[in-house]
Amino acid sequence: MFFIFPGGFNFGVSWELTPKLLVKNSMDMGLPIIHVTANHRLNAFGFLGGKEVAEAGVGNLGLKDQRLAMEWIYKGSETARYSPAVVSALTCWYPGLQSWYIAIILTNLRDTVRRWCQLSRVGTRVSNLSEEREESPGRLGSVPVTNKVRNYVHVKIKLAPFWYCIMGQHNNLFRAAICHSGTAIPIGTFKSRFHLRSLVGPISELLSDGAGQQAFDRIAKFVQCEDASDKLGCLRKAPFKRILKALGLFPGMLSLGAFPPTFSPVVDGEFVTGSIQNALKAGEFAKIFVITGDVLDEGTILALGTLPLHTKEELRSFITKKFQNPTPELIAKILKLWPSDPKSGSPFAAGDKYALTPVYKKYSAMLGDIGFQGLRRLFLRLTSPYMPTWSYIDQSMQHDPFIDNLSETGAFHGLDLLALLGLVPGGQKKEYQTRWIAFVNNLNPNHPGLAEWPTYDKGTQNLVIDKHGADGAALDDFRSEAIEFYLSNLDALTPKSQ
């Protein structure tokens, strides 16, 4: 399995989450896995936007790092006499803001990676992200491709697999994907020499200065490159610490402006060639085996940054600024469909408890459904007729010393990942580990002693997981009216790039 660490494309490292317990369990089951993980460039170093980046052809460098790592693993598996088909199972996570974009892996990447191999240097300057340079085998610049490859094989990706499957250009680098915390949201596009009108959704993006332009301009101004004739060239020569300090200008994960993230993948016309929603509708995605799911309260932790908001009008103004083409009527409908009554908000299993502000539970529910549940549902609806897909919902409300301090967030974003890695005790851990190990080995998450988990095409069902494990599946139809309204207005409600 190949694991791309969580962090919303903005933070994280390959070694922060250990798979030891998962791998040990796989060996005890007689279904051993090898776990491999890789570093990739983050935030502005890996996902800088703006027309200057588009014209230079150096967008989505973090994704190119990931793809290069997968190619390296594929070649290494041949040398080690492993079957590449077995080694190349993906697991994708979004225990950060990243999960919105998982769909891109399945629908967008063209076979242009080899010519980007020279751009793989991980260094201390922005220039290192785009300079041509020969690399030593097994390394991405100064950073090893693999974190630690011991006597196990496991490759997990968090949300990245989705980017690698869109339009079907995965080149047999993987045969399956496990996507924690849903799939992906629509993405922005660079304004550049590429004609993208037929590839992207909202026309407003085509008329803008390019996705991420505001962030590029702020960084350029901070490091005194604003008036340079070649702004990108100026940034390449700027001190690393100065650029790092510039990143402090932007919202952190739990800040008011954190959603959507400032730095994330965009359509660049070369590597990511089109929008997720259009590719899915056209059937242009890799036909592989996929597990995807969400926790019940995906939005609670990510909504903590909105605690300064207390009134409905403040919330209305806040969410209006988040979308591409929202009309007053659309915003009014959204505010109505996700009720203000705390009993209807997230965390959903808490009744009227944990209303940290008058609008917190309302926005938590809205964020969880718009950013996760609805898009997972759309992805499964469009892909399940063509390939085996399984879906789960984790509704566990933990009551143990590990979780008690987070009781206000319910079944919070990332809880399923913690359970998989053995950091949450009980039946929940066994459920994830056993099924994921079986899936990696047999392309089927069903295993003797566990409840039957039907594919999504057989009745649109979720495996329902709680802290004791899973007893079976249930219809995936919660909050249908609100979620369907959002999906039917996806173009207008595409997140606005910064």
What is d(CA 363, CA 340) in angstroms, rounded to the nearest whole number? 9
pLDDT score for 365: 97
What is d(CA 7, CA 95) in angstroms, rounded to the nearest whole number? 7
Q: How many structural domains compose the chain?
A: 1
Give the tokens for residue 344: 């209807």
Q: Is 235 contained in some domain?
A: yes
143-144/139-140 β-pairing: antiparallel
pLDDT score for 465: 96
Q: Is 367 contained in some domain?
A: no
pLDDT score for 81: 53
Q: Is 205 contained in some domain?
A: yes
Please, what is the angle between helix 427-442 and helix 20-28, to 10°?
70
The amino acid occupying position 349 is A
Structural domain harbouring 41: 2-298+372-480
Question: What are the pLDDT tens digits along the chain (498 aa)?
Answer: 888 888 888 888 888 788 999 999 999 999 999 888 889 999 999 999 898 998 888 988 998 998 888 888 878 766 655 554 444 445 554 443 334 434 455 555 443 333 333 333 332 233 333 333 333 333 333 333 333 322 222 333 344 444 445 444 566 778 888 888 877 656 555 543 333 333 333 333 332 346 788 899 999 999 999 999 999 999 999 999 999 999 999 988 778 877 778 888 888 877 877 777 778 888 888 888 999 999 999 999 999 999 999 999 999 999 998 887 899 999 999 999 999 999 999 999 888 899 999 999 999 999 999 989 998 999 999 999 999 999 999 998 755 445 555 678 889 998 899 999 888 878 999 999 999 999 999 999 999 999 999 999 999 999 999 989 999 999 999 999 999 999 999 888 877 765
Closest among 43, 37, 63 to 145, alpha carbons compared: 37
Residue 246: which CATH number?
3.40.50.1820
Q: Is 334 contained in some domain?
A: no
Q: Is 281 contained in some domain?
A: yes
Q: Is 163 contained in some domain?
A: yes
Q: Is 113 contained in some domain?
A: yes
pLDDT score for 78: 62
Q: Is 498 contained in some domain?
A: no
What is d(CA 337, CA 367) in angstroms, rounded to the nearest whole number? 13
> pTM (2 decimals)?
0.83
